[in-house]
Amino acid sequence: MLAANSVSRALKEELAELKNRHLHRELTCVSSAQGPRLSIGRGVFVNFSSNNYLGLSTHPRVKKSARAAVSRWGTGSGASRLISGDLAIHGILESKLASFKQEEAALVFSSGYLANLGAVTALVNENDVVLVDRLNHASIIDAARLSKAKLWVYPHLDLGELEKLLDRAQEFRRRLVITDAYFGMDGHVVALDALHELCRRKSALLMIDEAHSTGVFGKNGRGLTEHFGLSGKIDVVMGTLSKALGSVGGFIAGSEVLIEYLVNRSREFIFTTAPSPAASAAALASLEVILEEKSRRTRLWDNAGFLRRKLSGLGFDLMGSEGPVLPLRIGDSQKALLVRELLWKEGLFVACIRPPTVPKGTDRIRVSVMATHTQEDLERLVSAMKKAGEKIL
């Protein structure tokens, strides 16, 4: 009891310290679906903080598919897919994902986070080195740490520095380069053609994380591999079902041998219950909608283009971003919280992103755009940001 009391005191002190540094986080209860509007308390907010870029989590066809899956398969999956038999819905989704991503095969995980962990820890160990972009998502860094491989970090998007590191890494058994393809906090796109060429030249394995680019980039929404004409050419392609696909879960796509290997060696696949049938069925329907309703992607890009022009016109630093993620650099946690507060008062729900999610001094308001935002929604944000800018810029 004494030990528990002293731990509890230490936790309280640490939380108080986070509050002092304006880094404390709290959950905001939402009582509606994740659409372009959110019901919070007694108010309705325009939602500028969701990764549901295409609005598919509330698409009638996607919801119908999830409902039908519950009727047919029930709610849970029972056990690991290797233990209690593999519900066909997951395999159907994997075939569809493989053809959508134009890869030989795919494997579904319970989340994108687990997909990153599952691929990296299976592929590398203490004999290897993992080379990561400094701004990669936490799941990539955690995956590399868990794998026990050496972790080497190169400056954001700096392929020159990556090349130098690859030259110094000759003694390792495997050299695995991993990067976000589209950086979800920065709106930056990696030069995938140059990165792919570098990895080929240096005989390094390349893994890309298409969590934020799947459904958003490429002529048919297949992601940045499609955009760069590199479908089927990247060693490991990770994606998530939880963002533009409007469901939950993650996947790895690549060669048949890679997928067979992961089924046998990926602890994050083997030692966890299979995803829910409804989540897989929803993602399946989303893939069809993405291919059929191209106008959603056009709308998303038009909305993002409009906001980017207007907000940079107001003097905000959009950090060289492109696509549906618009980071507005504020630079200091207190000010960033103040802007969020001002926007919330105007009925606009935006995320305030602070360290450790982003490096110190790059605190920002992250605006994420949806295809389902109306012109009026966008204009409300511009006028509220104008007022906020007058206070803080």
Ligand X SMILES: Cc1ncc(COP(=O)(O)O)c(C=O)c1O
Provide the binding-site residues for ligand X, judged by CB under 6 A: 111-113, 116, 137, 139, 180, 184, 209, 211-212, 240, 242, 250
CB of 339 to ligand X, least distance (A): 22
CB of 211 to ligand X, least distance (A): 4
Residue (180 or 377) nearer to ligand X, CB: 180
CB of 18 to ligand X, least distance (A): 21
Residue (243 or 380) nearer to ligand X, CB: 243
Residue nearest to ligand X (CB): 112
CB of 382 to ligand X, least distance (A): 26
Residue (114 or 384) nearer to ligand X, CB: 114
Residue (212 or 354) nearer to ligand X, CB: 212
CB of 68 to ligand X, least distance (A): 23
| Six token digits for residue 93 | 């989704």
Residue (55 or 249) nearer to ligand X, CB: 249
Residue (65 or 116) nearer to ligand X, CB: 116
CB of 316 to ligand X, least distance (A): 22
